[in-house]
Amino acid sequence: MEKIPLLHLRLEGPMQSWGTRGRWNVRDTAMEPTKSGIIGLIACAMGCKRNDPQLEELSQKLTIGVRVEKPGKIEVDYHTVSRWQYINNRLTISPLKTAEGKYDKRKTTELIYKSYIQDSSFLVLVAGPLNLLKKIEGAFQDPKWPVYLGRKSCPPIRPVLEKLTQLYSSVKDALCEIPWSCEDINYTKPPKIRCIIDDIEGTMQRQDVIQINPARLYGMRRVSEFWVETPSLQS
């Protein structure tokens, strides 16, 4: 069977955050990297701005598979935002601006909730045209902007890029066969690990397909989720 080119990425860090429904002062996270988040990661390496048409093109041309090497756990960061300023030489809390740019005298403090995945690790496989994958590989080797794991406050602890291969016939086969990456750390090997993959016949999961529009609305994404026996280095 013909082998397809696959770009291997490892996303590991103390904190990651891959929002799906976050708005304003409540920012959630999925339990694994989202497709839009991975495209954003690639865009940082390539130097693409938020409204660059390349983002939509990348989302359409690339197939993404994610394997949860180490699931981590959700932590919620709670903090407040206030507007303090000196008025007549006295430090005074002042009203906050609304989205319309006006001051709301009833509101002086915003409560902010941001969710993160703590101590997690993911294998991400990116499939697509070979010339495009080589371009992305080069971008990760010499990134235009710093890459981060969902939010700028979440840097990776290891290089994101692993390698570009042509050893597997599909993303699913690769997810089933690539050795588990956490055998060299003090973490108990699970019997099975969870995988998520783009699948046009799969479940309509979330608004996770990048579309360039002023409202920053996302299209729906279809995925399949399955579990595989944890492949070891000896298998």
Distance CA(160)–CA(143), nearest Å, equals: 11
The CA R_g of the chain, rounded to the nearest whole Å, is: 20
Q: How many CA atoms, within 13 angstroms, populate the side-chain half-sphere of residue 144?
A: 13
Distance CA(185)–CA(115), nearest Å, equals: 25
DSSP β-bridge partners for residue 29: none
User: What's the mean pLDDT in 90-116?
Assistant: 72
Q: Which residue blocks in the chain are alpha helix, DSSP H?
A: 35-46, 53-61, 130-141, 171-177
Lowest mean pLDDT among 68-77, 110-119, 188-197, 205-214: 205-214
Question: 81, 110 in Cβ contact below 8 A?
Answer: yes
Model confidence at 43: pLDDT above 70: yes
Share of the chain above pLDDT 70, in %: 79
User: What's the mean pLDDT in 34-47?
Assistant: 94
From the CB of residue 122, how many other CB atoms can be counted at a distance below 10 Å?
26
Tell me the Ramachandran region of residue 226: left when phi exceeds 0, alpha when psi lies from -120 to 50, beta otherwise.
beta
Distance CA(209)–CA(221), nearest Å, equals: 6
The structure's pTM equals 0.84
Q: How far is CA 105 from CA 81, 96, 99, 212, in A?
A: 15, 7, 14, 35
200: confidence class by pLDDT, cuts 50, 70, 90: confident
- Predicted local confidence at residue 52, as pLDDT: 86
Mean of per-residue pLDDT scores for the chain: 86
Distance CA(205)–CA(13), nearest Å, equals: 25
- CATH code of domain 4-74+117-229: 3.30.70.2660
Strand runs (DSSP E) across the chain, as ranges? 4-16, 26-27, 63-70, 73-87, 90-94, 96-97, 103-104, 109-127, 161-168, 192-209, 219-229
Distance CA(7)–CA(10), nearest Å, equals: 10
| pLDDT single digits (tens) 112-141 | 889 999 999 999 999 999 999 999 999 999
* Cα–Cα nearest to 206, from 19, 11, 50, 16: 19
Helices 35-46, 53-61: axis angle to 10 degrees equals: 130
Residue spans per domain, the chain: 4-74+117-229, 78-110
